Amino acid sequence: MTAVQGAIKQLENPIPELGLPSLEPVRDSHLTIAPGPNIMRIEQNFENFDSYGFSTANVSKFDIINMECTVPEVKIEFDYHFDGNILLIPVKGSGPGKINACKY
pLDDT means over runs of 10, the chain (104 residues)? 87 89 90 89 94 91 88 94 94 96 80
Is residue 6 helix, strand or coil? helix
The domain made up of 1-102 is a member of CATH 3.30.565.10: no
Greatest alpha-carbon pair distance for the chain in Å reads 54
pLDDT at 104: 67
Domain spans of the chain, in order of start: 1-102
Instruction: Specify the pLDDT at position 65.
Output: 84
Q: How far apart are CA 37 and CA 16, in angstroms?
A: 44
φ, ψ of residue 27 in degrees (nearest 5):
-110, 140
Q: Which residue in 17, 30, 20, 104 sits closest to 55, CA to CA?
A: 20
